[in-house]
Amino acid sequence: MKEAVNFKAEGMSCPSCEKIIGKQALKIKGVYGCKVDYATQEGVITFNPKKTNIDIILDKIEEKGYECFIIKKSIKKNKNYFGLLFWALGLLAAGYFVLQFIDTIPLPEISADMGYGLILLTGLLTGFHCVGMCGGFVVSYSAKNPKKSSHLIYGLGKTISYTVIGAGFGLLGSIITFTPLMRGVAGIIAGIFLLLYGLQMLNVLPILRKIRINTPHFLAKFVGKESQKHSSPLILGLLNGLMLACGPLQAMYVMAAGTGSLIEGAKTLFF
């Protein structure tokens, strides 16, 4: 006997929340499946009503910090085509304006003098999102090895991965040969990434939740498989650094490429 219930989970900060919610629901005996969509924050749970009930399942999901409640079956709303048209025209107008004045606007050049303190501050502010997104990795090693030094080793592993990837993007930038103009544009694109990420987190424009750059499936599958094999904080940190679906990280990768230097790219991601 199966029963399907539609629910909403508020507080989803990134696409990885889909997996977190699904795994949390499946911990309850009698749950057959749980599918949730990050863009709408809505999902459906199928379970055996003789073994459990929806309240128990939602309470289990809320242990991860989400706010869940039952909703009626989703009815597709009419798309606000006027609103979409307005945003499209606005973007076109902004693009035209930038192209007209591109030679007179002083674009920021990404260089060693740009200030690593600002990059460090960006990392600290966006790190709160990382706590929720990467919490599963932390639990996997801390449960088996509850030493205080484990967190430091895990952080070291992530930092090494980020630094190596940053060096790779910096090397790519040096091969492409970024001009000062292209470096300035790269800085602007990185800023837009962070701005859109902030608006997405605040849910100011729900349509932004549909815009996502996911980690390649083969890479996500590899990281997930390998992380289950190992309990070493260092290895888990190295693997976690390969997850590329984080908005702030993507912005930093753009900045690393814009430096046009292997060393500067590595330093950008290190901070």
Q: What is the pLDDT at residue 21?
A: 93
User: Does pLDDT of 78 surpass 50?
Assistant: no
Higher pLDDT, 259 or 143: 259
Place of tokens 């048209």: 85
User: Does pLDDT of 65 surpass 90?
Assistant: no
Q: What is the pLDDT at residue 33?
A: 94
Q: 120, 158, 131, 125: which is closest to 244 by C-alpha?
A: 158
CA 205 to CA 84: how far, in whole Å? 12
User: Does pLDDT of 28 surpass 90?
Assistant: yes
- Show me where the domains of the chain are located: 3-70, 106-270
Our measurement of the distance from residue 149's CA atom to the centroid of its chain's CA atoms, rounded to an integer in Å, reads 26
Q: What is the pTM of this model?
A: 0.52
**pLDDT band for position 22 (cuts 50, 70, 90):** very high
Residue 44, number of CB atoms within 10 A of its CB? 16
Residue 249, number of CB atoms within 10 A of its CB? 20
Is residue 42 within 8 Å of residue 71, measured between CB atoms?
A: yes
Question: If you average pLDDT over every residue of the chain, what do you get?
Answer: 75
Pick the CATH number of 3-70 from 3.30.1450.10, 3.40.640.10, 3.30.70.100, 2.30.30.760: 3.30.70.100
Q: Where are the beta strands (DSSP E) in the chain?
A: 3-10, 31-37, 42-47, 67-70
